[in-house]
A and B are shown apart, each in its own frame.
Chain A
Amino acid sequence: MNEDQFDALQSAAEAGIDTETLTVRTDGETYDFVVPEASYTGLSDDELHAAARRHREYVTEWYFWTEVAPEPAQRRAFIRWVEQADDQSVPERRERLQEGIRREWGQLEIQVKLAEAGRRVYQLHHIDDSDERVEDLTVHTDPHEAREIRKSDEDGRYRPLSTAPTLRRGWAFVDLTPAALVETIETFYPATIANWHREQEGELDVTHWHDAVTRQTGIYGVVETWDRGEGTDHVEWVAEACCADSQCLKRREWEYDEETPLDADGGDGTFPCREPCSLVVSAARKWTRIDAEESRTYEFELTPSEKEQLEELIDAVADGRTEEIREADFSDGANRWRARFLRAKLFEDGNLDGVPTGDGGAAEGDH
């Protein structure tokens, strides 16, 4: 505890301090001072000072949470969550903070340590860089620099969905204040803190699929036409395709509508998804169009292995596995030479088995 903190304590005592771990009151002449393991009454100024020194961890904690931790409630609640403040007593927590506490938020690992005068300093890096030394990472201190990191994946491809599990590695944000930590997280994963906090408070405002697509007008009106009371299979497929943890780290909380939950797994993410995102709505628009086509019967000749290979190919693309397949792994149906062989054998003028698509395929009249 330093003198500034004591002065703050003494002046706050005028209005009264009444938290779970510290109570200080004054009648204008003497002070009462209460912490979990001791209680004093009728203290003079000097005695108050002595009591505050004796139990300084409670005073510095009080000071941190009233004067340093950021407003508003959602940010403060997040800072408390980071150090699991609600689950431990002040001395326990301070002991753990000396060593450093680590928490995960999506693909981010937050590390908090106790600094001088009860302050906290935070570090943020990729969860897979947990064991890296800071010297080996690119160090940042300005929260807005997270924008550039967020923008593209390890291969330089644009990431339109910030919560896709494709955050690149190799960087660290260091020496962050609580406010800067919040800002950095908000830059990596916008609005996740606000929505997580709403959920904690039991106030998450979920907009379910049906309401979300009905709201969309203009060019998105087409999505609405898909929502034509033919059951919810189509929405199950959307959720399964886009919202699984392998695709997005938010935990999907939206369903078809209030009464109709989806079977698709919403994921185990820490922070919720409260409404179909713009990317999902855009993709759904495409599926609406192609799904409106009538199915028809085509006849192809395939060997059993060729049929299986087609299935393997679709799986490999859907699981983002094509890059990992070794050049000479001819046992894998999605191996490039295997795919090229299949094309050489089965395609005629770009048509599978030479069978024309006929009118209305997605390849024509669409871009």
Chain B
Amino acid sequence: MEQALVIAAHGSHLNPGSSEPAFAHADRIRATGLFEEVRETFWKEEPHFREGLRTVAPDEVYLVPLFISEGYFTEQVLPREFRLEGFDPADWDSDGTTADHTTLTAADVGKTVHYCGPVGTHEAMSDVIIRRAESVTGDTEVGSGVGLAVVGHGTERNENSAKAIQYHADRIRERGRFDEVQALFMDEEPEVDDVTDHFESEDVVVVPLFVADGYHTQEDIPGDMGLTEDPASGWETPTVVDGTRIWYAGAVGTEPLLAEVVLERALDAGAADSTSAARAMEGTR
């Protein structure tokens, strides 16, 4: 049966860059030809979540949220707006980071929807964070003598947003590649403001676990860390703060490798077949 991949992202009424990652990852997956159609849908842009499914032809849809954590959006907004009949967060049987997929019917179009967990909590996201650290330092071996801070928003509407950050920080720490790994937050302890207090290493890579660059990643965080007085005029990479070299990467969601996490989510839910998928992705690199 023909399959469509539908990516659900936040988008913005004000910031044209907000939807860029969704488009970029969709383009890459589209180029593999693994899906009959790949469609980007948004909460704040168009097609809206409400109308996304009716724009694709296939009756079988893999729906992947381009969101960082489980919570308000994945449990309430998306199921409601995509009209996923009978969705119950308990079907995911998740501890806050382990939602994988569940199959439902979308009431308005009658399509079968394999509703996947958000990209942010997929284990492959740890690799994207590391890739981000490599690209910002220009060092594919980065790790030894270096600290890594994974930064998140913290308690937004839902405690799970901090869990996702912690989850990847723990996983990356266990690999032993970086001297130190810390989860830091914008509005709870440990705070990103005091980044240098939390590390002993001379070099610290800071990767914000956000889908898109915007106010938080381009103004709040660089300002809070003291990278610059005036975020609008940019900052040096690295910037020395209190004797520590800070390598600040933009939002992790803009990393091209994230397209593979989107695809992984759909594969985990039974889309395409993984061998041909791996090969097809190679072809787009």
- In the complex, the chain B residue whose C-beta lies closest to that of A198 is B54
A362 at the interface (CB under 8 A from B): no
B92 vs chain A, min Cβ distance (A)? 19
B275 at the interface (CB under 8 A from A): no
Contact B57 A278, beta carbon cutoff 8 Å: no
Q: Which chain B residues border A190 with CB–CB below 8 Å?
A: 46-47, 51, 55
A278-B44 contact given A72-B57, A205-B108, A218-B76, CB 8 Å threshold: yes
B62 vs chain A, min Cβ distance (A)? 18
A191: contacting residue among B14, B47, B76, CB under 8 A: B47
A282, B57: Cα distance in complex, Å: 30
Q: Which chain A residues border B245 with CB–CB below 8 Å?
A: none
Contact A160 B48, beta carbon cutoff 8 Å: no
B23 at the interface (CB under 8 A from A): yes
How many residues from B make CB contacts under 8 Å with A? 25
A28, B119: Cα distance in complex, Å: 56
Contact A279 B13, beta carbon cutoff 8 Å: yes
Contact A218 B72, beta carbon cutoff 8 Å: yes
B80 at the interface (CB under 8 A from A): yes
- In the complex, the chain B residue whose C-beta lies closest to that of A70 is B57
- In the complex, the chain A residue whose C-beta lies closest to that of B17 is A158
A277 at the interface (CB under 8 A from B): yes
Within 8 A of B (CB), among A189-226: 190-191, 193-195, 198, 205, 207, 215, 217-218
A186, B48: Cα distance in complex, Å: 12
Q: Which chain B residues border A132 with CB–CB below 8 Å?
A: none
**Chain A residues with a Cβ under 8 A of chain B:** 71-72, 74-75, 144, 147, 151-152, 158, 160-162, 186, 190-191, 193-195, 198, 205, 207, 215, 217-218, 274-275, 277-279, 282
Other than the known A151-B16, A160-B45, A194-B55, what 15 A-B pairs have Cβ atoms closer than 8 Å? A72-B57, A74-B54, A147-B23, A160-B12, A162-B46, A191-B52, A191-B54, A218-B77, A218-B157, A277-B46, A277-B48, A278-B44, A278-B45, A282-B13, A282-B44
**Chain B residues with a Cβ under 8 A of chain A:** 12-16, 23, 27, 43-48, 50-52, 54-55, 57, 72, 76-77, 80, 108, 157
Of all A-B residue pairs in the complex, the 3 with the closest CB atoms, nearest first, are: A190-B47, A191-B51, A190-B46
